[in-house]
Structure 1
Amino acid sequence: MDDDAVPARARVHDTALGTVPKRLLASWRRSEDYGVPLEDIQPVFNGTVDDESLFFQCGREVLADLHRTLASEPVSLMLTDADGLVLNRLSGDQSLLRALDAVHLAPGFSYSEREAGTNGLGLALADRAPTVVKADQHYALSLCTYTCAAAPVIDPRTGRLEGAVNLTTWSKSSSELLLALAQSAAGSTASLMLARSQGHRPRPAPRGEVFRVEAPRLEPGAGTRDDLSADWTQAIDRAARELAAGRVVAALGEPSSGRSTLLAQAERRLRPRDRILAARAPAPQDVEAWLSLWTPELTKPHTGIVVRDVDALPVWAAERLRDLIRSADGVPLSMTAERFEDIPDPLAGLVEAVVPVPALRDRPADILPLARHIARRLRGRDVAFTPAADRALGDHSWPGNVEELVEVVRHGVNRSDVIDVRHLPPSVLSGSSRRLSRIEAFERDEIIRVLTHSETSMKDAAEELGMSRATIYRKIAQYDIHIPKP
């Protein structure tokens, strides 16, 4: 194997690649692609934790029961969401808790593979499989004093990945039972969710948008494609020119159109080794905590700043942020918003150049390459799309831009290794712009479900749905259903 293809993690201890399990080696390579540092990691901190979901309530109860039997053992029990955010943590060993605090393996921090490199819970979530990562199998050297075992929790009703149960102990401790305990706890959580799902209150809407202060490897451009359409590359070129001239740039466009990704890729082109800090505007209750994080970050050398969604900031917070940025003197700065007129005046006064970012529907050549890239990131390998699925994705208007594309691809890869139209959400195959009632949505979804099965004739569909063929045709027109032919 070429030396350039050998992960830096393997070269640190001159590890023989033949002795490294394939899953672990693939995770090391991904960690390197994400830019995770080999020494001390910088996990992402999130300001808001959802503690009202059925998953959290059931998982917390299961871990509390398990903790009572392990209270005297040097083991920390944790529940994480599907993005690796640590939701809670239990342990009777105070020295272990202090050590975990030092590496930020604590509630409110995210330990996904993208953010912390190879670790037990991150790899379990990435591969959707029970995982043990021992001692020096971790990517970051600061984690080599621990052994982690984690098992994913799958919602038995929907098949959706809800999160993971993670057990962490010292690397010198016996870990033989850790994985079995993690799998048992994950299974018990899923079973309890199923038992309580009947009549459970709907999941409440978030009380505020989660905000992130992201480490340099996590700038929105990390690991994304750069060989996209001319519209996209021209926008990056323009942003790079303005940043190279020392100007403060605002990328404007629809939410999730890739504004912060574009800025980060432009920054990375100019300063490939610099640190890029990306911060999303917080929920109102988190503004003070968000502002307090800026002072130490702005003093660090070789740092570029991308402030995301500045149009969501209150004016008083924008004023304080402006003053902090001015005091940093010379830190490369860019920001994103939907429209320039919505940027708070204190920050609008800093803007010296504007770069429009086209919506995904306005750069259709990017849809299929991005869909395949997203699928590969979600599954860790290439995923095939049928020609009919390609046509359906290409014909959709993508009102939710890249975020919607991510959710559509996630829906597909959770159902099949080869994505066909029947694995796509009904919303992709329906052009109806009006809001549907629950009964209408159910009816539309059932029609699409039946019609997307291979070798289903209109006569077969009519019999299964209990409708006449004329009614089905009328409903297809009513819901503007478009199902590409195989």
Structure 2
Amino acid sequence: MRASARARRVAAAREAFLSSGSARPAAAAAVDDTILTSWQRSQMAGVRIDVPEVPYYEDVDPRSRLARCAAPVLDRLHDRLDDIPVSIVLTDAQGRIIVRRDEERRLGRRFDTVSFAPGFSYAETHVGTNGVGTALETGTAVLVTGPEHFNEQSTAFACAGAPIRDPLSRRIEGLIDLSCLAGDAHPMMRALVQEAARDVERLLLEDGSERQQMVLQEFLAACRRRAGAVLSVAGDVVMANKEASVLLTPADSALLRMTAADTRRLDPGTTIEMSLADGRSAEVRCRPVARGRELAGTVFEVLPRDAHPSRSRRSRRPARVALPGLAGRDPAWLDACGQVRAAARRRASLLISGEDGTGKLAVARAALQDVHQAAAPTIIDCAEPDPLAAVHAASGQALVLRHLDRLPPEDADALAAVLDAASRRGPAPWLVGTARAGADLPEVLLQLFTTSVTLPPLRHRMDDLPDLAAALLNRLAPGRGSALAPDTERVLTRLAWPGNVGELAEVLRAALRRRRVGPIRRDDLPAGCFTASRRALTPLEALERDAIVAALVETDGNRTRAAERLGMSRSSLYRKIHTYGIEPVDPTG
């Protein structure tokens, strides 16, 4: 009776919350702070309260390292809970269900009706308060029973979830959950999943130790084989011998760590070329270390092409200074600028890669001006019609081939032949190519370049955003003294910037059209800055999204008043907020 009385109080608090956006004080006393805070997050995320939109993902891997290490723990739970009406669930860090084991077939069918099944995501942003999503959101074990769920169709169930953390990095890897009908819930469910999560973490540690031991043995063998720089990567663990510590900068090591993720496709002993931060090229021998079907780690042996053992590290390192006219102080950005400057000084043919909008052309121009004080380079866009004719007619000290990844494949051999013929006729211009990061360029194009540099995306150097914005505003509105207000800067630093600096420039250009003079406020920003939509919108959808954002701004984030202003129901507004990924409006800025 006491349990059912509490359930009635929680149900009353939930109803009060859904109708007004906050629980009445008397009712809220029955609700744990963790649950109430989760309700607020769910509402701000626009989660539907009737039938949630539970997304399905095809790429959930039931043979992952997490699933393999969790299997014996799930087996033990299955034996302990035999004949008890409960389902045992394993999810990944995104709340996507990897495994569900049903102790009772009837219960499994009930869970199927609400898409609580492998491949579906029960993240809090999709389903609202629940044992999977809320535990992942808070990073702690939770038990969610009956009306404590945000979504109506989940109130028939109870679920207890505990996050599984990587024992070394403490990053959440997944979650173990026990779920049943609300009437069968027991407080011990929370303790059971906590114990199970600890058991999985122990097995992850043992598995990681075995993997790291394998990589360590290969690392030591490489150190014995070669009196040079050796570095190994095994997950979050990086080992380097003394020579590697002297030779490699943090940017060099970071590049090798990114390379390690792609080495599973390489044969042992494969050699690749790498441009070091000091401008030299190096030969890097890659040795992937496999553990069955999985990559345990990678060992790299690094040999500079023109090593000078007697030269001190301090004397051969270029100062970390940005190129003229380019804003930014992030170490990875400065290292990239240093590599481009070094290539320009040596007139080494250079391939600059990076995501769209990272500033590949701007970096090439700045390096040419900085090093050679030369006239503007000849720039040819390989995405334009007939780029070969433009290359034939090119002259000057530098030739920049933009968008090499968009060059028709049938033109690659012809382009290489034209450049080769030009180099035989006389002094060749400094050759620079640009391409999207990760683009699969034909081998004949790659052979045109002796070194390469990858520019970091804006989301990896967010500390540079204020300086970048100031430089862009000065360029877009010279003499106006435009600047970002603090609340505007906070909004911009929360965005992912898939279009990088180019996208930032477009946002500021739009804001300047609204705010001719004075600081740019957050309501001067385009509506897209307040959304996190996962897909491109149609023109009509974009108009609707902008209208919703405007209504929320005008009502200080009050969704009931915003829905009235838009002439739609509150549930429709919640659904569209979720669909368009509109972030909550904070009236305090």
TM-score (norm 1): 0.48
TM-score (norm 2): 0.40
Structure with more contact order per residue of length (Cα contacts < 8 Å, sep ≥ 6): 1
Q: Which structure: larger Rg?
A: 2
